[in-house]
A = this chain, B = another copy of it.
């Protein structure tokens, strides 16, 4: 059995504990962090909220935010997703595979390299869950804005390992 929890420790990732500090999306409105139906775990949108409740690198790609900053924001978003997966399933080791993610990047006019930003999230997932389980389907979209001026958001679906 793959040990994704050990891999997270090995990578030194600082995954929030949503059993003590709630999933930050709850401050945005009426929603919950995730829903499990059968073998599928459907996450709410996740954003690069930091522990101090501020966005990492707010703004627009091609404007105030560089590709490298956007990549880091997407990477933090993926770490926050790990927190919700752990909350939902008890352990990352219960993940069978990522199904797919929809990735939103806020852009200024003229910027099109949204895929390079989304890699910050999907590279992290690959590094944690490996080439087989950690590469899901993906789409990435340049959008006009996100709540709280976040520059990135993703919307993830995960397949749960059979019991």
Contact = CB atoms under 8 A, between A and B. Distances in A.
Contacts of A104: 139, 141
A137 B45 CA distance: 8
The CB with the most chain B CB atoms within 10 A, among A34, A37, A137, is that of A137
- Protomer copies: 3
Nearest to A40: B37
A123 B29 CA distance: 8
Given A29-B115, A42-B100, A115-B148, 14 more contacts: A29-B116, A29-B122, A29-B138, A35-B97, A35-B98, A35-B100, A37-B97, A42-B137, A42-B157, A43-B100, A45-B137, A102-B102, A113-B147, A141-B153
Interface of A: 25, 28-35, 37-40, 42-45, 97-100, 102, 104, 106-107, 109, 111-116, 118-119, 122-123, 125-126, 135-149, 153, 155, 157, 159
